[in-house]
Amino acid sequence: MNPSRRHILALGGSLCTVLLAPRRVLAAPVELIEMRGTARGESVWFAPRGLAVAPGTVLRFVNRDKGNSHTATAYHPEIFDRARRIPAAATPWDSDFLLPDESFEVTLTEPGVYDFYCIPHEMSGMVGRIVVGTPDAPRWESAAGPSDDVSQTVLDALPPVEEILSRGRIEEDTR
């Protein structure tokens, strides 16, 4: 091996180290939330519908329902003028309609409870709840209570925060 080639290889190795190391450091945890439905659309749901994550976690919503489109939309006045059900300091999100196999990502950094829904299926109780961090975290914001803005169907479908924190994730268990 001549010196110039050795130098090139060494330089390449150094570059790889430099390029790869920061990615390991910066990589945020990613959690998958699937949008699912039965073949004929009798039932639709988020899986999981309750999830506890650390601040900074990336949520990836993926539509696994071959016969329907879905959204993951935060309850927030900036989006369809809904009552806020995410922490005050959090940025609201709306995935828009996802066709089968399409996906959308959002990163949640503010500690607290986030409720979200599927625009065309909220009436059927297709909602979910994410708990970011724990109640002892600074700026923690608890779950929003009942309001005229959401139906009893929605409230019944949202898992209790305590259950999400104790179990980590709550899958739809009635399908």
Partner 1 sequence: MKLSTAVLAIAAMTFTGPALAQTKDAMMTSPPGDPYVQVSDVLPLPEFLPGLGTLFVDPGTLPAGPFLSYDHDGKLSATVYMTPLEELQNGTAYDGLSLGADTVTGVDIYYNAGHPGVEAPHAHVVLFHDDGAKGRLAE
In the range 112-171, which residues lie near partner 1 by CB under 8 A?
Answer: 119-121, 123-124, 126
Residues with Cβ within 8 Å of 108's Cβ and at least 6 positions away in sequence, in order, are: 53, 55, 56, 57, 59, 90, 114, 130, 132
Q: Which is nearer to partner 1, 43 or 91 (CB)?
A: 43
Name the segment binding partner 1 (CB under 8 A); options: 8-16, 23-31, 96-104, 105-113: 96-104
43 makes contact with partner 1 (CB under 8 A): yes
137: its two tokens: 């975290």
Dist. CA 151–CA 158, nearest whole Å: 11
Give me the 1-40 binding string for partner 1, x by CB under 8 A, dash otherwise: ------------------------------------x-xx
130: its two tokens: 């994410």
**97 close to 127: Cβ distance less than 8 angstroms:** no
Q: Which is nearer to partner 1, 6 or 175 (CB)?
A: 175
| Residues binding partner 1: number (CB under 8 A) | 21
